Structure formats: structure tokens, C-alpha cells
Amino acid sequence: MSRIRAKWTVAKMAVSLLLLAACPPDFGQGNSAVLTGTITDRFGRPGANLSVTLSSTERVLQTKSAIDGRFRFEGVPEGEGIYEVEVVGRGFIRQKVSVDISNGSAQPLTIVLEPGSIPNMDECGPHPSIRYDSADLKKPKLTGVVRDYMSQRPLAGAELVLRREDNAEKAGDAVADGKGSFHLDGFPAGHYTLKVSRAGYLPTETIQLLVPRENSVFIDVLIVRNDGKLII
């Protein structure tokens, strides 16, 4: 009987191996896509070490272009439609292009950048710095700090209001603490306008602020004292 059982076990193993060969498991297959591209200037010279961001309301992925201007995103979930690719680099105009990854890996992108103005108006004056932390599959969360543009010191008491861009609905509000820090959560993923105001300072707005579902967002907001001085 033991020999019969042994032969039967061997036979079942052989059948199982045949089934695995014919229908291999699809772990990791059909779930993610790859997006590649090349960045050049209008003369065909590669755009090296430029910040490249791939974003949707679900997530934000970030990388840098290589010395030959190439970039690559792996593990991009399929079936989620349109993503936006943004390229930022000193001396170039910020550029955004849309790409559809709903049917799998998209065709390689070729992005041609135009030279920026001198001085670069994207770098002049108070502009917020935005950081997207790695995906954590939690509810959207927005944290940050409010600082004086000239002194760079944190400002307590600044009032912040977050509104949806599609319908101007108020999504939340907060008051910066003694270290200028604030925290907002409990709202759906999407694009928002963040308005910051404080007595003695000019109010400022950050428009088209993306707060994705899978990334927490940190924003460093600089505001200008309302003293009539020219800011460059």
C-alpha cells in the first residue's frame, strides 16, 4: 500500500508541475506598468538631473532624469487612467504632459523643454515648497509650516483655509501653532486651494495643490510682511 501511495503522490506532483508550467501564477503581472521617457532641450541636448513627477489623485511618484536625459517609473498601477508628468529644472520653463496608462505600459515619452526667463520668475519671490512623502495607503493628510519670507522664521497664529478647486467647498481650516506648524486631514483626495493669512502680512494662495490618496503632503509656505517694500 505504501508503494501505491508513493506512486500516487509522485503522479499528483507531476500533474501539478505540468499545470504550473501551462498556467504560471500571475503574481505581479497585469498589476503595474512601466513609464519611460527622454528629456531634451530644443537643440536636442539631454536634460540631466531634472525633477520628474508622475501624479494622479491616487499617488505621486518622483525621480530624477539621468545624465542622458532618460527617466523611468516602475510599478505604476494600471487601469487608473490619466497621469500627469511634470518636469522642473533650473533654466527651463516648467512643463506638464498627460499620459494614459489605463491599458498597460505607455509608449516612451519625448519631452522637449524651452529655456526659462532671466531672471526665472518661478524662482523669484515667495513660492511654497511642496514635498510628497512615500505612499502609505492612508487618508489624505496635509501638514506644513508658515514662515516669514524675509527672516525665514516660523510664524505662529497664521490662519489656513483649504478649499476644493472644483466647487470651492471648504475642506478644512487650521491655525499655525507656536512653531508655525499646521495639520489638516479628513478630506478626500483631489486638487485644492490653500489660503494663508495673518495680521500684518499679505494673504497668499497656493492653487492647484494636489493632495493624493496615498501620499502625505508637506508644504512650506512663505508669506510677505505688508510693509509696502518691493519683493524680488
Q: Domain segments of the chain: what residues? A: 32-113, 129-223
d(CA 172, CA 178): 20
Question: pLDDT band for position 199 (50/70/90)?
Answer: very high
> Over the chain, what is the mean pLDDT?
83
Same topology, domains 32-113 and 129-223? Answer is: yes
> pLDDT per residue over 118-172, tens digit each?
555 555 568 899 999 876 666 678 999 999 999 999 999 999 999 999 888 899 9
Which residue would you say has higher pLDDT here, 1 or 88? 88
> pLDDT per residue over 4-13, tens digit each?
444 444 344 3
pLDDT at 116: 83
d(CA 197, CA 176): 10
For residue 156 the three cell numbers come to 505662529
Query: With 50 as the cut, is the pLDDT of residue 32 above it?
Result: yes
Query: With 70 as the cut, is the pLDDT of residue 18 above it?
Result: no
DSSP H helical segments within 49-184, as ranges?
none
Which stretches of the chain are assigned E, i.e. beta strand?
A: 32-41, 51-55, 60-64, 70-77, 82-88, 95-100, 109-113, 129-132, 141-148, 159-164, 170-175, 181-185, 190-197, 204-211, 216-223
Query: With 70 as the cut, is the pLDDT of residue 79 above it?
Result: no
The domain defined by 129-223 carries CATH number 2.60.40.1120? yes
For residue 25 the three cell numbers come to 501564477
Query: With 90 as the cut, is the pLDDT of residue 113 above it?
Result: yes
Query: With 90 as the cut, is the pLDDT of residue 106 above it?
Result: no
Fold that domain 32-113 belongs to in CATH? Immunoglobulin-like (2.60.40)
**Which whole number is the average pLDDT over 78-107?**
87
Bridge partner list, 107: none
